[in-house]
Structure 1
Amino acid sequence: MHNPDARRREQASIAEPGVATTSATQEFRDYMALSPAEKIELKIAEQMKKETELQSLAALNAHTQGSALSAKLTVQLAANGQDAENRQRKTPLA
């Protein structure tokens, strides 16, 4: 089978003679040479990578906040316990 995009891809990936290309220029040419299906696959892969990163950050954040929350609750419980103890001392026994 003949690939109709082959010629376009070949032209897009070849730089003009005597012209130095930057990596960004070459990346752009490579991207433009992709077929629509390849661009969709690339976009899906990028989205999956972002989702994975966000899930990792969320898990790390939950772990970090969990430790901070635990410490905060410990301080609050200690303070509440101290308050209850102080109230008992002030209350006369019948």
Structure 2
Amino acid sequence: MEEKVLPKVVSLITESTQVLNKLISETTENMLGLINQIASRLSALENRSAQETLLPSLESRITQLETTIEKAHKKPRQDGSQQSPMMQYASDSPPSS
């Protein structure tokens, strides 16, 4: 009797082990996928947070530059012209090539 039962028990243990290994493998793959998704989302949140922190500072600097540029264009030059030398050059006839 033992000779008939022992091979069946070994076979069941082997099949069970294979099934468990497959489940462990699939579960591990799923967990790694979830971990990667979480890491990606955290990274996106950190980037958004950094952008929200930097944005007001950048907007302020842009406004300052725009104001400076507007003042520079409105301010008369020492030679009495309203345009900067570069703007005068741009308005002259195009250079011959």
TM-score under structure 1 length normalisation: 0.58
Deviation at 1:83, TM superposition (A): 0.3
Aligned CA RMSD, in angstroms, stands at 2.5
Amino acid at match of 1:90: A
Name which one, 1 or 2, has greater alpha-carbon Rg.
2
Q: Counterparts of 1:24-63 in structure 2 under 5 Å?
A: 35-63=17-45
Aligned CA distance change for structure 1 residues 77 and 37 (closer, same or farther; 3 Å): same
Amino acid at match of 1:92: K
TM-score under structure 2 length normalisation: 0.56
| Deviation readout 1:2-57 (Å, 9 max, x if unpaired) | 55233x6xxxxxxxxxxxxxxxxxxxxxxxx9522221111000111111111111
Q: Percent identity?
A: 10
Choose the corresponding residue for 2:51, options 69, 82, 86.
Answer: 69
Q: Which has the higher contact order (CA 8 A, sep 6+)?
A: 1
Structure 1 unmatched ranges of 5 or more: 9-32
4+ residue segments displaced more than 6 Å: none
Correspondence 1:5 to 2:20: no
Structure 2 unmatched ranges of 5 or more: 1-7, 76-81, 83-97
